[in-house]
């Protein structure tokens, strides 16, 4: 059992059944990432959670799985190419951690496909591009994610953390 601390369903709108978003291009950010073992137990994939940040589907989530550790070399090649496209779209060419890719706007191209196991329609991300490219504007300095200060730096970590509490797309 779990204590629900006096939860009152009368005070919260119920969750609606969420159909997949229509195929198209969406401005999104990566909000979460983690490495997870694959079902066979012989590799791992990077699971990325994308959140749409503009338009009528703002707030909706779409996921991608990149087979970065897999016995099938072709699966790894495809995953690395997809990760490269994401890095280029957000302007972070050499991330040290998947969190380096978080909260940076990019355009995701979403398709709808029918699942073979259930027959349900689901979303799949089929492409990534820079937000600047989609607007057909001249290339500008790639976006950079603020980092915490290094020892000996004059910038305080607290100031950087408070700046980071506001997502870049809402600044």
Which domain does 35 fall in, by range? 17-141
Q: Where are the beta strands (DSSP E) in 54-103?
A: 61-69
Q: Where are the beta strands (DSSP E) in 53-140?
A: 61-69, 106-114, 121-129
- Structural domain includes residue 165: no
Residue 32 lies in a domain: yes
Residue 1, pLDDT score: 76
- What would the pLDDT profile of 48-79 be if each residue is shown by its tens digit? 999 999 999 999 999 999 999 999 999 999 99
Structure tokens given for 37: 């073992």
Nearest one of 84, 97, 80, 95 to 144, comparing CA atoms: 95
**Has this prediction a pTM greater than 0.75?**
no
Checking if the pLDDT of 163 tops 70, the result is: no
What's the domain count of the chain?
A: 1
34 domain residue, yes or no: yes
Please report, for the domain that includes residue 64, its CATH number: 2.40.50
Q: Which residue has the higher pLDDT, 10 or 1?
A: 10
pLDDT at residue 14 tops 70: yes
Q: How many CB atoms lie within 10 A of CB 2?
A: 4
**Overall average pLDDT of the 110-130 stretch:** 95
State the pairing for strand pair 61-69/24-37.
unpaired
User: What's the pLDDT at 166?
Assistant: 58
Establish if 100 belongs to a structural domain: yes
Whether the pLDDT of residue 143 is over 90: the answer is: no
Residue 133 domain-assigned (yes or no): yes
- In a domain, residue 120? The reply is yes
58 located within any domain = yes
Residue 90 lies in a domain: yes
User: Considering only 35-39, 52-56, 151-155, which range has the smallest mean pLDDT?
Assistant: 151-155
What pLDDT sits at residue 148? 41
β-sheet with 24-37: strand ranges across: 61-69, 44-52, 24-37, 106-114, 121-129
Left (φ > 0), alpha (ψ -120 to 50) or beta: where does 55 sit? left
Find the angle CA(53)-CA(171)-CA(27) to the nearest 5 degrees: 20
């Amino acid at each position: 059992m779990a204590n629900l601390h006096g939860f009152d369903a009368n005070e919260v709108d119920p969750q609606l059944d969420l159909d997949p978003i229509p195929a198209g291009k969406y401005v999104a950010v990566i909000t979460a990432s983690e490495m997870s073992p694959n079902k066979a137990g012989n590799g791992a994939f990077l699971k990325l959670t994308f959140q749409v940040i503009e338009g009528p589907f703002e707030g909706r989530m779409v996921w991608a799985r990149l087979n970065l550790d897999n016995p099938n070399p072709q699966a790894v090649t495809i995953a690395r190419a997809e990760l490269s496209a994401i890095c280029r779209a957000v302007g972070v060419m050499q991330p040290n951690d998947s969190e380096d890719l978080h909260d940076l706007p990019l355009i995701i191209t979403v398709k709808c496909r029918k699942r073979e196991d259930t027959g349900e329609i689901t979303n799949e991300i089929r492409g990534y591009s820079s937000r600047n490219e989609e607007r057909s504007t001249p290339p500008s300095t790639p976006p950079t994610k603020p980092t915490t200060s290094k020892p000996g730096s004059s910038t305080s970590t607290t100031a950087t953390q408070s700046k980071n509490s506001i997502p870049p797309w809402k600044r």
